[in-house]
Amino acid sequence: MTNYKKASLILENGTVFSGYAFGASRPASGETVFSTAMVGYTETLTDPSFQGQILCVTYPLIGNYGVPKQERDADGTLRAFESEAIHVRALVIGDLSFDFSHWSAAMSLDEWLRRENIPGIWGVDTRALTQMLRDSGSMLGQIVMEGDEPTSELDDPNTRNLIEEVSCKQPIRYREGAGKKVVVIDCGIKHNIIRCLLATGVELIRVPWDYDFNADPTMRDWDGLFISNGPGNPDFCGATVEHIRESMAFGKPIFGICMGNQLLAKAAGAKTYKLKYGHRGHNQPVRMIGTDRCFITSQNHGFAVDDATLGSDWEPWFVNLNDGTNEGIRHKSKPFFSVQFHPEASSGPLDTQYLFKKFVSML
Amino acid sequence: MDTSIKKVLVLGSGALKIGQAGEFDYSGSQALKALREEGIETVLINPNIATVQTSEGVADKVYFLPVTPFFVEKIIAREKPDGILLSFGGQTALNCGVELYRSGVLDKYGVKVLGTPVKTIIDTEDREEFAARMEEIGVKIIRSCAVSSVDEAAAAAAELGYPVILRAAYALGGLGSGFCDNEQQLRSLAEKSFSYSPQVLVEKSLKGWKEIEFEVMRDSYDNCIAVCNMENFDPLGIHTGESIVVAPCQTLDNHDINLLRELAIKIVRHVGIVGECNVQYAYDPGSDDYRVIELNARLSRSSALASKATGYPLAFVAAKLGLGYGLHELKNSVTKTTPAFFEPAIDYIVCKIPRWDLGKFHGVSRKIGSSMKSVGEVMAIGRSFEEALQKGLRMIGQGAHGFVGNKELEVDDVDEALREPTDKRIFVLAKALQQGYTIDQIYELTKIDRWFLHKCRNMVDTLAELQKYSSIEAVPFETLKLAKCQGFSDHQIARALYKDAPGIEARQDEVRTRRKELGIVPYVKQIDTLAAEFPAQTNYLYLTYNGCKHDIEFSGDGRSVIVLGSGAYRIGSSVEFDWCSVNALQTIRNLGWRGVMINYNPETVSTDYDICDRLYFDELSFERVMDIYELEMPHGVIVSVGGQIPNNLALRLHNHQVRILGTSAENIDRAEDRNKFSSIVDALGIDQPKWKELTSLSEIHSFVEEVGYPVLVRPSYVLSGAAMNVCYSDDDLERFLAMAAEVSQSHPVVVSEFMQRCKEIEFDAVADGGNILAYAISEHIEFAGVHSGDATIVYPAQKIYVETMRVIKRVARKIAAALEITGPFNIQFLAKENFVKVIECNLRASRSFPFVSKVSKINLIELATRAMMGEHPAPVSKDEFDFDYVGIKASQFSFTRLLQADPVLGVDMASTGEVGCLGDNFDDALLKSIVSVGYAIPQKGILISSGDALQKASLLDACRLLAAKGFKIYATGGTQRYLTDNGVFCTRALWPSEVEQDPSLAGKFSAALDLLENKQIDLVINIPKNYTHVELTNGYRIRRAAVDFNVPLITNARLATAFVRAFCSMGIDSVSIKTAEEFYQGR
């Protein structure tokens, strides 16, 4: 019973957190980040915004409800998953439930990670690790199986265009002719965003991150533009920013989420910067500026928009109540707006899902 | 915020009772603190004198008066408050508030209800209104359809969805009721049901559904947060107060959680809560179907638990929201930088476990179900479920070492014991797993989610692994580490390794030494509400083996003092020790030291992290206290303010070089050990009732021959039922011993002389180096024989001879000197005419410390703490104890909750709470306190059965008074003849057996039970002949009927007489309405 294989997480500052291996028995490296979400590991692990990251979950008991069967809905999106594959490099947790219990579960978390070839470590003091990441900032790290040598070549996902890795390669159309036409720039879109948009009765054209949809005669007549979430540094997306800027000239509604907020801000001339350790969790409080309306939001981002650099036509829309960082921007006169948090949730609270309706009602 | 509010009335919850306990002291204290911070004048009504909220400096004015519309209206007229808080004093305060609203009192005096409007409260309390509100927003609730034909039943079932439950309306005992899985079953059962009753109720069966709770806050800007979600370990059907509960939910996924969270917020917005609210759901284990069970539009036991589980001060914030603040305008009181508008992220698991005391009651069923019977609860924190559960099972303090490795539980039928839950089911679960039951088998029997069962099996497996070894040195590192991570205690591990070998305590030390050598030690973690996302200066701590780093630093400067708290509320140890702990901490801090608290009761104020410099929310076990002591290296430990749990640890801690502050551990032991104490008392020439420790029936008989009946028998090994009993005859004695106890060499029985018709006197005092600094002498109204925790106590004593007082003081001085007492202590005396005997001495604060401290306005705990801290305070001048008012403490019983229990008082304590009221004289104080524990002055009829001849005689004067005042008296057989012979007019009422044996009597006289049922009686005085009844008797049936029909019952002749005298001499209208401070002016 106590013959678990050992493994450790070694951070770039040399700190070693030891635990036991689960999932795939192989090394991995990436940027180590933490999330304070207490549920939703299937959604989180498949969220493309985690591309290249080793994820530490602060809630210690993970795997309790197993992993559901992969089922597709009529539009081809996966229920309970946010993309086709796990995007985190490795998972670091406190206590793993080898035995799971949920009516919808098809396998254990351990088995899923093995199938997806993703390593995990359990038995780690994730609170101590989180404190270190909080105090020193997100840092690179690697997972090393017992008996293996650590590598000196850590993968730094921030040095390359992660969005390119997770974006679709060809345009994908959903419900052609269903209603108003929305172009979705896929920077690593979560399936639930697609579901939330489709639920409003629109037609979607999902395009790769750098696709020039304004030059495509089959898309040029779009009614609204949506910019998705995505991983990493927005500075790699010059092409996308250019396309957004061109699109603004039409004055049609534009809505962005997470990376979409950062890219819209850049298109508006603002700057972004890297947060020390980012916002990842389900309990991020935001306030709509100028009102007493507050929302609990789901978040997952490492970069933020610098409010001070917004042009005079723009204004901050939402603010994070914990640290005062930007949580959304909007144009003062035109229907352009975006949020840093995730109104589609999945995982997380549903307080701000009304924003999808708001966007579509403007088309 | 609303600046027109300058003065606010806060309603407390009164005495602790089952279903409404210490959590409301916590919520009320928090609310008062929140109001004070805003500069608002506060007026508190709460007769519960042992609470922290009624202490000086918490509210501006305190009324120790009943929380009833009658008294509250008088206080409103007197105080003219601008606002009132109804949701911080449990159901008592809420109901009272609703009545005041309905009767127009609040309008009349222009008192604004702060927070959730009364209309909303009514909507949520009334089932029909609530159903209508939920229907408006399409939220599903549990509904039943009344049908009158088989076809209608089938149609209703089809609409509700199978399985359904059928209940034949108006049929007793569940005849014609049952579950149906499909239409065929339904049709066949419905045929039968309609043969019993013309109407059948069809209800969706939610058997085996999960029970989930959400704690939601809403501000006046419509901002909502769901602070905490919790999941019951036991499925629906077991009251949440009777269930093991974990937070956060463990078996729900993201979809489940956010579906229910969203619904909860939708509901809270729709009904219009402002403040805090609890939403309970039934949740299908096989889909995402749900039903709302109920909604509590007030602070609750669950909200107190949620506050402690998350560190989010729900009551404090709710009070601020009532003043009009928005959540975003308030700060998170843990981080102090982030706002109160957020949802705590937890990085640990908490496990709440109820504490039952069913063994204290005769006749009560041990089954648990939809009504609450538990008297307290514990909360355990860990970073694995196993760790939290095992900690918690030790915390409940009923002899368990954890989930496994306990004394073998005798179970006749494991299947049945799993299917029909009792207070022991968690241990039946362990037994079943050890016997090889599969998870699926257990699931089918219990419907406890398999996830929990798998975790339970992990502990069974680990125990089996440990049992393979026979010494600690042989256990591999990984196995030992795993065991500790799963919450095994050193003691539990020692038992697994060394089985029943003697000297288990020494073995436990070996385990401790070995694991420390291996570096297997617990780490201290903070509860910071944000899972370490932001730095927090929080002092709210717990220990876990699932970690590798301490969150805090230990200065080792020896400037801290550890106070050991009182653990779970139970019969005999309750809010009074919380008050003592809180006051000790305050004194320590005022003296410039750091106060460190160890306690694990979520219903307390002492576990509020504002109260101390560091709060360790963890076990009060030798192992854990040592862990904390070794890390903190404090100045010392105080063991004398938390009741018996810390007191029992004193000697062992001392033997491990822990510095005990105050009276030495050896002297505590000399008072605790019956033999040692007895020889001290003998040596000092002090009288005590004769007693002997005996190991055979023949020894017992010869001792009884020497002292005579009655005798008090205290077995050291109790098989079932009460731990001690008074025996009046050989028959009694033999029956009790045969049924309840084992008598043998290894299990001796203590038999003592039982003194009848004696006064019992409490001596509460503080000494320094053996010299008494202050004392309070109070007397019981009842004669000795009623447990001091159940007795009605008067302070200052009103009817004790000066000579008796003198002897008591002299004896107490001798004992204090002999035991070199420094700190609080209590001695109980028996007094009759010219003798005084010592019955017990505790070198710790007693239950009555807050009562005498608040009546006298002399804080005995503060004084005791100063003495223990070596301040050598000056003795309190005698003049300070001279006052012209009276305090009376009365007990609260919860028999209504304990079906079938005989509501009779005896040597074992049965009350769950108490009140203390001040009065201008004895009658004034007595009426207030008796009304505070739920009695009313009779208006209709009084039913009297007055016991044996002596008791009949002692009640005669009271009966004469009642007759003279024109009260309608009903009396049973002998009492009726006796009263009539003595010229008291009364009407005969029939005993239940008389009705059964001779139906012809029924035409001539009323049956006592009918009188009760027909509400013709509003006071029952029923004096049992002695304390030995176990079987169903006439007396039992009348007493039980009184409780079940909610008619006030008094079973003691002395108390009955005092009460009758009081209400005959003054009406309820003439009782004095004065604040505590106004009374204190008469000192």
Among residues B233, B250, B242, B241, which one has the least CA distance to residue B303? B241
Per-residue confidence band for B14, with pLDDT thresholds at 50, 70 and 90 = very high
pLDDT value for A1? 45
Strands B771-783 and B759-768: antiparallel
Instruction: Return residues 404-443 of B near A (CB < 8 Å).
Output: 439
Beta pairing partners, B892: B913
Q: What are B47-56's pLDDT values in tens digits?
A: 999 999 999 9
Say whether the peptide bond before residue A347 is cis (omega within 30 degrees of 0): yes
Computed over every residue of chain B, the mean pLDDT equals: 93
Which residues 542-561 of chain B have a CB within 8 Å of chain A?
546-549, 551
With an 8 Å Cβ cutoff, are A43 and B254 in contact? yes
pLDDT digits (tens, 9 = 90+) for A188-201: 999 999 999 999 99
- Measured distance CA(B350)–CA(B304) in Å, rounded: 13
B644-667 tens-digit pLDDT: 999 999 999 999 999 999 999 999
Question: Residue B292 and residue A290: Cα distance in Å, rounded?
Answer: 36
Asked if B543 and B616 touch (Cβ cutoff 8 Å), the reply is: yes
Q: What is the mean pLDDT of residues A291-303?
A: 97
Three-class DSSP labels, B861-903: HHHHHHHHCCCCCCCCCHHHHCCCCEEEEEEECCHHHCCCCCC
Which residue of chain A has the CA closest to B266? Answer: A351
- Counted across chains A and B, CB pairs separated by less than 8 A come out at 179
Whole-angstrom distance, CA of residue B59 vs CA of residue B34: 11
Q: What is the CA radius of gyration of chain A?
A: 20
| Residue B1031 pLDDT | 45
Let me know if A312 is exposed, middle or buried by CB neighbors in 10 A (0-12, 13-18, 19+): exposed
B324 with B332: CB under 8 angstroms?
Answer: no
Chain B hits for A102, Cβ within 8 Å? 251, 253
Catalytic option among A237, A258, A279, A331 = A258
Residues B832, B757 contacting (CB under 8 angstroms)? yes
**B737-755 per-residue burial string, b: 16 or more CB within 10 A, e: under 16:** beebbebeeeebbebbbbb
Residue of B210, B229, B255 to mutate for A, most A C-beta atoms under 10 A? B255
A-chain residues near B547 (CB < 8 A): 125, 127-128
Query: pTM of the full predicted structure?
Result: 0.95
HSE-up (13 A, CA, CB side) for residue B959? 29
Provide the pLDDT confidence category of residue B199 given band limits of 50, 70 and 90.
Answer: confident
Active site annotation includes A242? no
Query: Strands A294-305 and A254-257, how do they pair?
Result: unpaired
- CA–CA separation, B205 and B536 (whole Å): 46
Query: Cβ A294–B258 below 8 Å, yes or no?
Result: no
Q: How many angstroms separate the Cα of A124 from the Cα of each of A66, A93, B197, B342, B997?
A: 20, 6, 62, 27, 74
Cβ–Cβ gap B258/A348 under 8 Å: yes
User: Are A39 and B253 a contacting pair at CB < 8 A?
Assistant: yes
pLDDT tens-place string over residues A153-164 = 999 999 999 999
User: Which residue of chain B comes nearest to A135, CA vs CA?
Assistant: B535
Task: Output DSSP code: residue B593.
Answer: P
> A136, exposed or middle or buried, with CB in 10 Å at 0-12, 13-18, 19+?
middle
B1069/A contact by beta carbon, under 8 A? no
Q: What is the mean pLDDT of residues B1049-1055?
A: 95
pLDDT over 50 (residue B368): yes
Copy the structure tokens of residue A75: 């539009």
B804 has a pLDDT exceeding 70: yes
What pLDDT does residue A57 have?
Answer: 97
What is the rounded CA–CA span in Å between residue A260 and residue B313?
37
Place of tokens 């390794």: B497
Give the model's pLDDT for residue B740.
Answer: 65
When CB atoms are compared, the residue of B344, B384, B551 closest to A61 is B384
Give φ, ψ of B824 to 5 degrees.
-80, 150
Beta pairing class for A203-208 and A181-186: parallel
Is pLDDT above 70 for B419? yes
Per-residue model confidence (pLDDT) at position B1030: 44
**Interface residue B996 vs chain A (CB under 8 A):** no
Q: Which of A109, A283, A287 to mutate to test the interface with B (most CBs of B within 10 A)?
A: A283
pLDDT band at B1026 (very low <50, low <70, confident <90, very high): low
Give the pLDDT band (50/70/90) at residue B175. Answer: low
Look at residue A311 and tell me whether its pLDDT is greater than 70. Answer: yes
Has residue B1032 got a pLDDT over 60?
no
* Distance of alpha carbon B494 from alpha carbon B511, whole angstroms: 7
Closest CA to B268 of B90, B122, B116: B116
Q: Which of A121, A127, A129 to mutate: most B Cβ within 10 Å? A: A127
- Average pLDDT (B933-955) is 93
Tell me the average pLDDT across B997-1019: 90
Q: Copy the structure tokens of residue A10.
A: 């070694």
What pLDDT does residue B999 have? 84
pLDDT at B1029 over 70: no
Query: Which residues on chain B are in Cβ contact (under 8 Å) with A47?
Result: none
Q: B374-385, pLDDT tens digit by residue? A: 999 999 999 999
For chain A, what is the mean pLDDT?
A: 96
A 10 A CB-CB count for B699 gives: 16
Pull the structure tokens for residue B293. 């069970």
Q: Per-residue pLDDT averaged across B459-469, rounded?
A: 97
Structure confidence at residue B128 (pLDDT): 85
pLDDT at B717 (0 to 100): 65
Nearest to A51 by CA among A155, A134, A195, A152: A155
Token pair for B394: 């030790």
Q: A87, A282, A331, A342: which is the annotated catalytic residue?
A: A342
Which of A3, A322, A344 should be substituted to probe chain B, the one whose Cβ sees the most B Cβ atoms within 10 Å? Answer: A322
Residues 6+ apart with CB under 8 A from A234: A241, A259, A262, A263, A266, A272, A303
Candidates B67, B50, B66, B30; CA nearest to B42 is: B30
Sign of dihedral through CA atoms A321, A324, A326, A332?
positive
Which residue type occupies B273?
Answer: I
How does strand B560-564 pair with strand B594-599?
parallel
Least confident of B625-629, B891-895, B925-929: B891-895
Q: What is the pLDDT of residue B171?
A: 56
Q: Which amino acid is at A275?
A: L
Q: How far is CA A196 from CA A175, A193, A208, A227, A347, in A?
A: 13, 5, 19, 14, 13
CA distance A60 to chain B (A): 6
Q: What is the pLDDT of residues B527-578, one digit of tens each?
A: 999 999 998 889 999 999 999 999 999 999 999 999 999 999 999 999 999 9
A150 in Cβ contact with A144 (< 8 Å): yes
Give the distance from residue A277's alpha carbon to the nearest chain B alpha carbon, in angstroms: 9
B546–A36 C-beta distance less than 8 A: no
Q: How confident is the model at residue B741 (pLDDT cuts 50, 70, 90)?
A: low
CA distance B534 to chain A (A): 7
pLDDT above 80: residue B1077: yes
B796 to each of B481, B565, B689, B800, how far by Cα in Å? 56, 28, 25, 10
Task: Please report the sign of the dihedral spanned by the C-alpha atoms of residue B1057, residue B1060, residue B1065, residue B1071.
Answer: positive
Give this complex's ipTM. Answer: 0.97
Count of alpha carbons within 13 angstroms of residue A76, beta-carbon side: 7
Catalytic site includes residue A342 = yes
A84 assigned to active site: no
Task: State whether B451 and A296 contact (CB < 8 Å).
Answer: no
The pLDDT of residue B975: 95
